[in-house]
Amino acid sequence: MKPKTLLVTGLACFALGVSSMALVGARSEASDDLYRELKPLMETVTLIQGSYVDEDKAKSKDLIQAAIKGMVGNLDPFSQYMDVQENNDMKQETQGSFGGLGIEITVKNKVLTVVSPIEDTPADKAGLKTGDGILKINGEPTDSLQLMDAVHKLRGEPGTKVTITVFRDSFTSPKDFTLTRAVIKIRTVKSNMLEDKVGYIRLSQFMGSFDSDFEKALQGLKDKGATDLIVDVRNNPGGLLDASAAIASHFVPKGETVVSIAGRGKGSVKTYSSDGGLGWKGPLVVLINGGSASASEILAGAVQDTATGVIVGVKSFGKGSVQTIMSLSDGSALRLTTAKYLTPKGRTIHGLGITPDVEAEDELLSKVYVELADKGLFESFAKEYLAGHPGFNFDDEAKKAVKVSDTWEHLKPETRESKVAKDFMDYVQSRSKDFTDEELIRDRGRIMGRIKEEIVRLGKGEDAARAVALANDSQIRRALDVLKVAELMKGRSRGK
């Protein structure tokens, strides 16, 4: 079975070619040195098997696997040895459906770290964030775990629970999150029409039938009259590079470089060029953040270097290496770093990330908002409110003025939003004395945005709820501003 390349489907031949040349040119004395250096390893295995007190721990297969894991684990955080089960899990994950929490993790500065939670999964709903450090899994410290060992501990049967201990810069001390595992079915491409003929495509991972799904979404938006486009790869941890190159081809002019892959040997460079795709010519914004990694950075780097769009957000993660999956004879595999990728202008991203053209920090969540979300009060209020107000929608207007609380009086005519705000404050106060009216009023805009989102989700479904969430997203609003400037400049150019 030929090796499969995570990030580069089709790099297998390139990777094998380098290995083959190395083997052909190897001198016999180098082989002798290798066998001589392996001798202490075999001696150690023999001694452990013959003398170690716990015979169950001295099985040759376990010892060899442990030796391989140690060998590969000493290379870099992304190279891994995967036993048969782990290899099968990886194959399942790249097909877009697997069981677990819905979280992408890596090892950063020797700490198990969240790259990004996957949208609409237990990890996302629990409030895990990019950069969170996972210190313990079910009480067991993670500092000595291999990456794939940690993945296995996080996964499990759907419906079972796992508790992870997390530290975040904004925490004064580590905090436990208990999550319920679920079958993770990733909807990698979502699209909406926004205001003023702006199309929006959300990409959560570069997996499965991603490239064809993206093309359908893009064509669908064009058919609906979209003239401007926002492509959102925030918290997208990456995936298959072929898919990323295919997406970039819709924006990068035909024949121009999308990305280059540089291996170890001289001349071992493979270049991916644009095939032109659907040939999008309108204004384009690509949204990134600290959870945008790997294949997401390839897309952003290609758009930025070819000046086909504007990158908006905050600096990306900085994961610019290529892992090739190399199958072993017993069904296990190596996930080995074989190359680094370069943007069209030859920039390396590994450890550096993509710096946006327009900085747009996400609004920090207030302590009150986070605590309301942690207690599940938004969801529970929405369910109770809809049960008591069948057919409710925010468009209907009432006619009288309203006094929302003793300290908060609206002078404008009462709206449905005003009534919901009052009812929510009463609901919160009846269930918790941790919040004052003043605290709720101070964060009223974000709180009401979330309430609207939950009510719309229950009443009209996930797509309608996403539209509400997008309207309240400060980075989306910044992207829309950038597109308006682009349209203005294009109009002035036409006027000339």
Q: Are 218 and 247 in contact (CB under 8 A)?
A: no
The tokens for 372 are 């309301």
Q: How many C-beta neighbours within 10 Å does residue 226 have? A: 22
19 is an active site residue = no
197 is an active site residue = no
Residue corresponding to tokens 């003025």:
401
Q: pLDDT of the chain along its 496 residues, tens only?
A: 444 444 432 222 222 233 333 334 444 666 778 888 999 999 999 999 999 999 999 999 999 999 999 999 899 888 989 889 888 877 766 665 567 898 889 888 889 999 888 878 899 888 898 889 999 999 999 998 888 789 889 988 888 999 999 999 888 899 999 999 998 777 789 999 998 799 999 998 887 677 899 999 999 999 999 999 999 999 998 888 889 999 999 999 999 999 999 998 777 889 999 999 999 999 999 999 999 999 999 999 999 999 999 999 999 999 999 888 899 999 999 999 999 999 999 999 999 999 999 999 987 778 888 888 878 899 999 999 999 988 888 765 544 444 455 554 544 556 788 889 899 999 998 988 888 888 888 888 889 999 999 999 888 887 888 888 998 899 999 999 999 988 766 655 444 4
CA-CA distance, 269 to 466, in Å (whole number)?
41
* Choice among 305, 316, 321, 452 that is catalytic: 305
* Choice among 319, 321, 418, 452 that is catalytic: 319
Of 435, 237, 255, 391, nearest in space to 317 by CA: 237
Pair type for strands 4-6 and 80-82: unpaired
DSSP 253-275: PTTSEEEEEE-SSTT-EEEEE--
The tokens for 360 are 């747009």
- Domains of the chain (ranges; CATH) run 97-185 (2.30.42.10), 367-460 (no CATH)
Q: How far is CA 164 from CA 134, 154, 161, in A?
A: 7, 9, 10
Of 286, 253, 262, nearest in space to 355 by CA: 286
* Choice among 191, 292, 294, 296 that is catalytic: 294
Looking at the DSSP bridge assignments, the partners of residue 199 are 193, 229
437 is an active site residue = no
